[in-house]
Structures are given as structure tokens and as C-alpha cells.
Amino acid sequence: MSFRKVVRQSKFRHVFGQPVKNDQCYEDIRVSRVTWDSTFCAVNPRFLAVIVEASGGGAFLVLPLSKTGRIDKAYPTVCGHTGPVLDIDWCPHNDEVIASGSEDCTVMVRHGAVVRPDSQVWLEAAGSTAKQRPQLATPPFPQVWQIPENGLTSPLTEPVVVLEGHTKRVGIVTWHPTARNVLLSAGCDNVVLIWNVGTAEELYRLDSLHPDLIYNVSWNRNGSLFCSACKDKSVRIIDPRRGTLVAEREKAHEGARPMRAIFLADGKVFTTGFSRMSERQLALWDPENLEEPMALQELDSSNGALLPFYDPDTSVVYVCGKGDSSIRYFEITDEPPYIHFLNTFTSKEPQRGMGSMPKRGLEVSKCEIARFYKLHERKCEPIVMTVPRKSDLFQDDLYPDTAGPEAALEAEEWVSGRDASPILISLREAYVPSKQRDLKVSRRNVLSESRPAVAPSSARPGASTSATSVPASIPSGGLTGAGEARKLDEVMQELRALRALVKEQGERIGRLEEQLGRMENGDA
């Protein structure tokens, strides 16, 4: 398809992508070869996780972001699965917790020993001297893992939680965007299960809404609904707590190859798929009227599934094709044609998978609005998307308040019918050194309490945010006595005053730059 060269006013019109230097890549990673249309990669501001090849089972690699360069073949992995790992997803409310779905997880016997499918253990049959290979006692289950604060030093084989409920391989795991410890899983049994991970409790079982394989699932902004793309070519919008179908569009894309659907921040649904003639398509849908798409664009005739990544802060959708060597990006607006092509990032090597960094992990001082982690056959290459700006000041228009790591609801509140939008944070604080920012950050998670290692969340109940975080970054005895506490308070007050001053001056400079731009354009 040839995109129309229409000049339209957009701050993202000049976004450009740039791969990092070789020494900032992650080399010698044996990326999984399993035939599954997953991203194979998940990333957060602390860790990079990649599904890798593993003998005798399934595994994924978890690396601190700073551990670039060549990765030793003996580097420890998360290897509790006994079949290939199909999907992984970091918890949005705890950067050390990750969920995984597998083709065949560890088999757990409720009363007895653990038996693995690849085990060499033989059992003697009752009433017979014949020996038989054991049958799988239970089907594959999604698992939840807690990564040590500084990364893995030895293979991690024991998950925090094993969620038992699916009867076939689990290909989709995705966390609720605003409720703590709520996880959705979907399997090749065409069943969607929603869990309270903190209690390992199955909250909802949706087993009659999908007649065929589920390709993907996406929550809406506040987690009250989710949409799904299915092999029967239908896109569905579902209320999980009522177990009802809110809306359905049959033959959203008429091609037979996999399609995907994601919710946008305003409640619209964005889909990728194939036409009857096997041309790749993008479409935008209004859930109030799914009869016809608001917009439909054809891209090309490649056969790789299109993976969409959405930034709710900028309304930009990045589309990465599996097996492609490019990333296309589009701005979604309220004006026809609604889907506006921005640009294409192209490289030489095809991508096996892709991960996207949450907004709070970006370098705002460099006007970075997105960062992708492109999987090659044996390496992971970060790709930085940047908006060119002359000013070194914080760019308010590029960085509106974004979803932070704090959960807006507890699982029990969500189950009771409450909904809440994400708790937003300002990225302006990214300019403050991390040690000072640590004084303001505090996360508490039920999963953390189930592990023996103490973290900042293990401070005494009722302690303030600052008091909880201080012991994590200052050695014991570093803040003894009222005098030092008073000094700390003075420093914090001065820091707050400086922040207010910087914000005020930044707004003034922004207004002056805008006025100067109008004068240069002859508008003033």
C-alpha cells in the first residue's frame, strides 16, 4: 500500500526510531523457536524477560536491564516449566513478579510426589508386575514467579503460585491494569480464567463465549471489560464479572490467518488481521456500532501476524509484523480517517518477537516516547523512538501523567463491582536522582509477603511512604537521632521548592517558545 503524503499538524510527525549501539544489546540469547504468535518478550523498568530455547522443557531468561553485552550460556533461567513457554507478562504493580503460560507446565500431584512428563521415574501398577510410564496427573497451568531484587543468581524452578484450571496449553497471560493480583489466562481449551493470584483463587470461568482458539485478549483502560480475537474471525467485547457478551463482530477480518484486537484509552477497539486475499489490514471499531469499521487500511501482502503496541498517553499505535524488519506507527485521532500513518522504522534483520517498555521506564530527558526490544535469532536489540526537540527542558506535551506502579484497587474491590482508572504519576520526577526518588516510592504486594526475603514492603504496618523506603537505600544506623531526621526533612522541603520553581520556569519558557514559533510562522 502507498500511504498518502498528506501534511497534517502532529507533534509526532517527525518521530524517528534508532537502534542502540551493539554494546547496549543483549547478545547470544537463544530465542524460542516455538510456533506461537506471542511477543516472546516482556520488559519493565527493571528487568527484560525473553522466552528461550530449553532442553527437556520450557524456560525464559530474566535479565536486569543493565546486563547488556554477551550473555553467558550458563546464565540462570526461570525453568520450572516442562514444556515450551508460550507467553509471559510482568505484573504492572510489582516489577519483580511475572506470570507465564506454557504448553506443558510442571505436573503437581495433590497428595504425593511431583511428576514431570520428561521424568525417568517409572511406577509399578497395582496388582501387576508390569511397569508403565506415568500419565500426566493434571493438565498444564499458568505459573507466577517472583524474581529476586537483583536478578537471578541460580535457576528458578519453584513458582510462587501455580494456577490450576486449564485442560490444555496456556497461550495467553495478562494482568489486570488497575486491580492488584488479578490475572487473566486463556488456553487452547477455549476457556478464559480470571484469578486472584494472592490467594490462588479462581474468580471467574468463561467457558462458553469462544467456540475456537483465542488469539489474544486485551483489557480496557479501567479493567471493567476485555476484548478478544478468536480463530472464528470474531472480535468480542466481554464483561468478565457478569460473564456476558457485550458486543461481537463476526468476520472482523475475513482472512484465515491470526488477528489481534486491543482496547484504546477512549474505549474504541483497534484490530489487525488479514483480508480474504491475504493482505494485512488495520481497522478501528466503535463498540457502540460494530456493523462497519470506523477505518480500515490495507498494508501489504506479507504473511506474518501483526502485533500492535499502544501508547494511551500519545494515542500512537506501533505495529510490528512477525518476520518483518520494520515497525510502522500510526496516530489515532477523532478526525477522519482516524488512523493516520506517521512513519516506518526499518532495519535489516527480521524480528522474531518484540517487547515494549512501559512509559515510566523511558528516558524523558532524551524525548524518548517509546522503546522496543526487538528479538533476533540470537540477540535482543533495543530500539528507541524519539521526538526531536531543541529544548532540554521537560516536555509536558510529550509526557502527560502516565500510569504508575500503584494498584488503584484490591482484587476484592474489583470483584465487588468497583472500577477505577490507573493511578497516574508525573514523569517530571525522572530528572530527580534515583536515590531521592526512592524516598517517595513504596509498593506493597501480597506476593511479596509470601516470600522469606525482606523487601521495602516488609516495614512495619502504618509506616509512611518515606519511612518505608528509607531503610531500603540507607544502611542500618544511617538515620539515627532526631537531628539527622530533621536534616532530611529540610532537604526534602528544599527539593520540593526547587521542583516548583523548575516547573514554573519550564511553563514560562514553553509559553515563550510557543509565542516565538507563532512569530516565525507569521501567525502573530
Residues 175 and 291 in one domain: yes
The predicted model gives 172-196 an average pLDDT of 95
Q: Residue 311, Cα to own-chain centre: how many angstroms?
A: 11
pLDDT of residue 164: 86
pLDDT for residue 120 is more than 50: no
Query: Based on the domain organization, do 384 and 504 belong to the same domain?
Result: no
Indicate if the pLDDT at residue 248 is higher than 90.
yes
Looking up residue 388, the CATH number of its domain turns out to be 2.130.10.10
Indicate whether 442 belongs to any domain.
no
Position 6, amino acid = V
| Statement to judge: residues 388 and 504 lie in one domain | no
Q: What is the pLDDT of residue 509?
A: 83
Instruction: Specify whether 281 is located in the same domain as 367.
Output: yes
| 346 and 229 share one domain | yes
Per-residue pLDDT reduced to its tens digit, 510-520: 788 777 777 76
- In sequence order, which residues have a C-beta less than 8 Å from that of residue 434 and are 6 or more positions away? none
Residue 125 has pLDDT above 80, yes or no: no
Q: Please, which residues bridge with residue 229 across strands? A: 216, 235
Alpha-carbon distance of 204 to 243, in angstroms, equals: 8
Please check the confidence at residue 480 and state whether its pLDDT lies above 70: no
Q: For the residues 492-506, what does the mean pLDDT come to?
A: 81
Same domain for 510 and 391? no
- What's the average model confidence in pLDDT over 259-279? 97
Instruction: Measure the CA–CA gap between 463 and 271, rounded to whole angstroms.
Output: 46
Q: Where is the domain boundary, 405, 425, 445? A: 425
Final residue before a domain boundary, out of 393, 425, 457 = 425
Do 512 and 410 belong to one domain? no
Q: Which of 218, 267, 223, 287 is nearest to 419 (CA)?
A: 223
Average pLDDT for 378-398: 93
Type of residue at 342: L
Whether 317 shows a pLDDT value over 50: the answer reads yes
Length of the chain: 524
Is residue 398 included in any domain, yes or no?
yes
Residue numbers of the domain that contains 177: 16-114+142-425
Structural domain count, the chain: 2
Q: What is the pLDDT of residues 419-453, one digit of tens each?
A: 999 999 999 876 343 332 332 322 344 454 433 33
The pLDDT score that the predictor gives to residue 435 is 35
412 domain-assigned:
yes
Of 62-71, 95-104, 474-483, give the lowest mean pLDDT range.
474-483
CB 357 within 8 A of CB 370: yes
Cα–Cα distance list, 298 to 37, 170, 224, 271 (Å): 20, 31, 31, 12
Please name the amino acid found at residue 113: A
Q: E strands along 5-127, which residues? A: 16-19, 26-27, 41-43, 47-52, 58-64, 69-70, 78-81, 85-90, 97-102, 123-124
Mean pLDDT throughout 455-479?
Answer: 36
Least confident of 109-123, 159-173, 288-302: 109-123
Cα angle for residues 172, 137, 91 (degrees, 5° grid)? 30
pLDDT tier for residue 275 given thresholds of 50, 70 and 90: very high
Q: Using pLDDT thresholds of 50, 70 and 90, give the confidence band for residue 47.
A: very high
